[in-house]
Amino acid sequence: MRVLVVGAGEVGFHLAQRLSEEHQDVVIIESDPERAEIATQKLDVQTIVGNGASISILEQAKVRNAQMLLAVTSADEVNLTACLAAKRMGVPYTVARISNPDYYEEDSVLSSDQVGIDLMVNPERECAREAFLLLQSIAFTEVAEFAGGRVQLVGLKVRDGAPVAGQSIGHLRSQFLPTGYHYVTAAIVRDGQTIIPRAETTIEAGDRLYLLAPTSEIDQVPPLAGYDRFKLKRVMIAGGSLEGQYIAELLGQHGIECTILDHNRRRCVELAERLPKALVLNADATDLEQLEMEGVGGVDGFVSATGSDETNLLSSLLAKQAGARKVLSLVHKFQYLKLESTAGVDSSISPRISTVNAILRRIRRGRVMTVASLSGIEAEAIEFVVSSESRIANKALRDVDFPKNGVIGIILRGNEIILPRGEDTLTAGDDVIVFATPDAIPTVEALFG
């Protein structure tokens, strides 16, 4: 599949990297020569220097032969124009990264329905939804939803003395399956290496596990890894960014007490008008004395959501030191995601990773519903719908030549949630959640395509 990526910033670079690893035909259009050169040197892609909204540049990129255009620059107007031009030139699917709410609200004359763009992705709202899910548990470092919210994929670290530590996957499966509890260990990260586990694989303290489980049972997962039960009642947000605003809106909708701190008095007035259920304070979130005065030590969750990664990291560390139970830090630069565990922050949220996740679901060849690309692991979770033409349909799983770096995590058949065994057979209409490393994804897609 030929895909044009407009913008070689961190989102565009990450998307192009993922696609090139899966042997897609990728062309990057980037106006900054230095960024274009970096992409040329590091990725197996074609690069063109120029404005992605320019008709002549799009023609140079052979846009009429493309199946997809992803416009992911930091400029909404460039992304909109590039998608509109590509659509007029015959590109079947166009995706635009859009931050300005004037462009994506349903009643806007420039909404996706009005202008014909197939998907508008709002990074700030995607990030806010992810933050809200992460706040629900003290243990989870990553969360992604599947099957319309019926199933969640969570990441968490195994503590010393945890019930699962020292146990093999096969033993745990035999222990929990008879009780009716559904969960699947989809992947393990150990010493920076991603392991797709088998029955004989043993879980060790310090491992980061990625588990799939029904949302209705997800609160049973943390105790298995050594964590106490947790209920979210009070949250403090440092920073009146759009992400902070959207997180506060979600908290208010669910009756969770919320306090927002921002150093800009004018922004505080705006937030107070928009968020009647939240307490908005004009304060500096990097001032430990002010944080303690506002009760940060008694909050269940703390989210640092300013526009500065450095400020977010500092305020997160101060909040953790003062006693906040669960601390999230907003991260804009991909390289800062690696600082999360070493700096003592419980979890990081990235609007750019959230954007990548939202876009990836539209660039798969099979009947894909949802994709989760996580920050701490070299693997993706993908939800497929089985069709009658799928190569994997109507075969016992033991007879399918499934790649060794992939695993079928959960099968959803109507209201039934099935933990797959070798004798199980996939039928048309089944939802299947697969976990796989990038090198295995093309083979998996071919099986479901």
What is the per-residue pLDDT across 42-85, written as a single tens digit (0 to 9) for each? 999 999 999 999 999 999 999 999 999 999 999 999 999 999 99
pLDDT tens-digit series, residues 233-268: 999 999 999 999 999 999 999 999 999 999 999 999
pLDDT at 157: 92
Helices 123-134 and 242-253, axial angle in degrees (round to 10): 50
436's tokens = 């796989």
Half-sphere exposure of residue 158: CA atoms within 13 angstroms, side-chain side: 23
Beta strands per DSSP E along 294-401:
301-304, 326-330, 347-349, 368-373, 380-385
pLDDT band at 176 (very low <50, low <70, confident <90, very high): low
Intrachain domains 139-224 and 356-448 with the same fold: yes
Q: Answer whether residue 7 shows pLDDT above 90.
A: yes
User: Which sequence spans correspond to the domains of the chain?
Assistant: 2-121, 127-132+231-355, 139-224, 356-448
pLDDT (average), residues 415-423:
86
Per-residue pLDDT of 376-399, as tens digits, reads: 677 888 888 898 888 999 989 999
Q: What is residue 143's predicted lDDT score, i.e. its pLDDT?
A: 86
Q: What is the pLDDT of residue 349?
A: 86
331-345: pLDDT as tens digits: 888 777 766 555 668
Task: Give the tens place of pLDDT for each residue, 96-151.
Answer: 999 887 777 666 555 555 577 888 889 899 899 889 989 988 889 888 888 878 88
pLDDT over threshold 80, residue 286:
yes
Contact 246, 302 (CB under 8 A): no
Q: Which helix (DSSP H) or strand (DSSP E) does residue 322 occupy?
A: helix 309-322
What residue spans of 66-205 are helical by DSSP H?
Answer: 76-88, 101-104, 112-115, 123-134, 169-176
Rounded average pLDDT over 318-342: 82
The answer to whether residues 329 and 346 touch, using CB atoms and an 8 Å cutoff, is no
Q: For residues 245 and 360, which has the higher predicted lDDT (pLDDT)? A: 245
- The pLDDT score that the predictor gives to residue 343 is 62
pLDDT tens for each residue of 181-205: 678 888 899 988 888 888 899 999 9
The CATH number of domain 2-121, selected from 3.40.50.300, 3.40.50.20, 3.40.50.11610, 3.40.50.720:
3.40.50.720
Answer yes or no: are the C-beta atoms of 222 and 138 closer than 8 Å. Answer: yes
Q: Which residue has the higher pLDDT, 402 or 364?
A: 402
Mean pLDDT in residue range 207-231: 89
What pLDDT does residue 371 have? 61
Q: Is the model's pLDDT at 366 over the cut of 50?
A: no
139-224: CATH architecture: 2-Layer Sandwich (3.30)
Quote the CATH superfamily of domain 356-448.
Regulator of K+ conductance, C-terminal domain (3.30.70.1450)
What integer is the mean pLDDT of 9-29?
89
Which homologous superfamily is 127-132+231-355 in?
NAD(P)-binding Rossmann-like Domain (3.40.50.720)
